[in-house]
Amino acid sequence: MAQKYQLVRGMRDIGPELTPRWREVERIIIDVVCRYGYQEVRLPLLESTELFARGVGESTDIVSKEMFSLDDRKGRSLTLRPEGTASCARMCIENGLLRNQAQRLWYQGSMFRYEKPQKGRTREFNQIGCEVFGLPGPDVDAELIDLLWTVYSELGITDLVTLEINTIGSGVARQAYRDVLVDYLKPFRDDLDGDSQRRLETNPMRILDSKVASTRAILENAPRLEEYVDEDASRHFDGLRRILDGAQIPYRVNSRLVRGLDYYTHTVFEWVTDDLGAQSAVCAGGRYDGLVEKLGGKSVPGAGFGLGLDRTVLLHEAKAARDYRQADVYCVVGSESEIVDATAVSNAIRQRLGLAVVQHGGGGSLKSQLRHADKSGALWAVIVGEDEVAENRVTMKWLRRDNEQLTAPLETILERLAAEQSGV
Ligand code: ATP
Ligand code: MG
């Protein structure tokens, strides 16, 4: 026997039993995003490694230990995108999309991070992201959050997610806080967990985000970020809170929330859940006014989020158990001589009613075909057998109701299906 191949560690297959739910979740989210006037962009899977090093930050987990990088044939380092914001900003700068105009953009696709795989954490995962460029105010931060609140409402999972917000200020004030924090933590250096010890040198504010109990205990008495936020940042944050309060969007201020990416300024937010074990973040975002300039563009403010689809689909599944059907109608074909007629019937149903029809393939008895029909989840079977063709009729059978069926001319069957369809 030939060698069997296995999935590469950390990748995941999304099989036919899962894709209907994925599509439903994607459809709902994309529909909301488009209703807020965001325009789609399609970004490449590969970018130069340098883009992420600069745009995400050398000291972040993503860049320091999670990138899938490879050298091309000329020895240039390329990386499979671990997130979308840096690519999106690069595209806008390169194509002059930020010249004297604001942009509201969205994208979707696979992201790659080399991390320890577990439920809800894989090395390939999917995100839908939104980015707004050119608008500096808290109204935009609020718009992104309001859009996400609508997404969670329409997915029916608002009770499974909680919004946390914070401000990490900007510029000088943040630098001042960083220094004070390092001064406070240095004497505890040996008691910090390994990651936090490393971050003390590279990215001290990330230590606030640590999940390690002993580190959290040390942080209890640490100087608080909010006391170092400058007036401008406080005003921005108050503005955001006023809009969220007015829109009655529930949130919790979490002064420990700092986010892992270097490019954030002012607002940061995260939607978290208790329903996915250790994988608590389902969406994260914030403002990144320094990013475009850092990537070689003119200084343009930005804000956005990345929503993790894999985890969102898991929440949707936890909330809404349902059977997705392969098709609405299953067409049973009497024998080989009826294939042409059956195909015409299937196509009439597809074209005129827009219903999904699976036409039986491979022959077999009426009984075995009806077993397949049942398994497909279809609501109705249409039977095109020898008798039906001889009489110019079609039999319609209700698969989810006992023994109900009707034999009539195709036009009548189409009308009946249309009437039934409007009741589903
Ligand atoms: P985490 O703390 O779980 O590692 P993160 O802060 O690294 O998340 P972001 O970079 O903010 O995540 O990405 C936004 C969203 O993408 C996350 O909230 C999460 O839903 C999803 N996500 C991130 N990494 C993974 C992964 N490895 N597998 C599945 N989903 C992921
Ligand atoms: Mg991560």
Of all atoms in ligand 1, which is nearest to the CA of residue 121?
28
Q: Do 165 and 251 form a contact (C-beta atoms < 8 A)?
A: yes
CB burial string 191-221: b at 16+ within 10 A, e below: ebbeebbebbeebbbbbbbbeeeebeebbee
Nearest to residue 67, comparing CAs of 10, 125, 123, 110?
Answer: 123
Of all atoms in ligand 1, which is nearest to the CA of residue 281?
18
Quote the ligand 2 centre to 195 CA distance (angstroms): 13
Q: What is the pLDDT of residue 368?
A: 98
Length of the chain in terms of residues written:
424
**Mutate-to-test residue for ligand 1 from 62, 81, 111, highest number of ligand atoms within 8 A of CB:** 111
For ligand 1, say whether the CB of 82 is within 6 Å of any of its atoms: no
Q: What is the DSSP letter of 60?
A: S
What's the mean pLDDT when you consider all of the chain?
95
Q: Which two tokens stand for residue 9?
A: 């560690």
Q: What is the pLDDT of residue 260?
A: 63
Report how far residue 162's alpha carbon sits from residue 148's, in angstroms, rounded to the nearest whole number. 11
Give the ligand at the shortest distance from the Cα of 11: 1
For ligand 1, say whether the CB of 310 is within 6 Å of any of its atoms: yes
Which residues, 6+ apart, have CB-to-CB distance to 5 below 8 Å? none
Q: Maximum CA pair distance of the chain?
A: 92
Report how far residue 270's alpha carbon sits from residue 282's, in angstroms, rounded to the nearest whole number. 8
Nearest to residue 288, comparing CAs of 305, 273, 303, 270?
Answer: 303
**Mutate-to-test residue for ligand 1 from 269, 279, 307, 315, highest number of ligand atoms within 8 A of CB:** 279
Give the ligand at the shortest distance from the Cα of 307: 1
Q: What is the pLDDT of residue 301?
A: 96
Residue numbers in the chain where pLDDT is lower than 70: 260-263
Quote the ligand 2 centre to 113 CA distance (angstroms): 8
Quote the ligand 1 centre to 20 CA distance (angstroms): 23
Report how far residue 15's alpha carbon sits from residue 149's, in angstroms, rounded to the nearest whole number. 29
Quote the ligand 1 centre to 285 CA distance (angstroms): 11
For ligand 1, say whether the CB of 113 is within 6 Å of any of its atoms: yes
Of all atoms in ligand 1, which is nearest to the CA of residue 115?
27
Of all atoms in ligand 1, which is nearest to the CA of residue 259?
6
Quote the ligand 2 centre to 62 CA distance (angstroms): 7
Q: What is the DSSP letter of 115?
A: -
Matching residue, tokens 């930020």: 98
Q: Do 128 and 309 form a contact (C-beta atoms < 8 A)?
A: yes
**Mutate-to-test residue for ligand 1 from 121, 211, 271, highest number of ligand atoms within 8 A of CB:** 121
* Residue ID of nearest Cα to ligand 1 atom 10: 83
Number of C-beta neighbours around residue 185 at 10 A: 22
Domains by residue range for the chain, with CATH: 19-170+230-319 (3.30.930.10), 329-421 (3.40.50.800)
Give the ligand at the shortest distance from the Cα of 111: 1
Of all atoms in ligand 1, which is nearest to the CA of residue 305?
14
Of all atoms in ligand 1, which is nearest to the CA of residue 120?
29
> Helix (H, G, I), strand (E, B), or coil: what is residue 84?
coil
Give the pTM: 0.94
Please classify residue 88 by burial: count the beta carbons closer than 10 Å to its beta carbon, then call 0-12 exposed, 13-18 middle and 19+ buried.
buried
Report how far residue 303's alpha carbon sits from residue 267's, in angstroms, rounded to the nearest whole number. 9
**Mutate-to-test residue for ligand 1 from 87, 311, 313, highest number of ligand atoms within 8 A of CB:** 311
* Residue ID of nearest Cα to ligand 1 atom 9: 284
For ligand 1, say whether the CB of 260 is within 6 Å of any of its atoms: yes
For ligand 1, say whether the CB of 209 is within 6 Å of any of its atoms: no
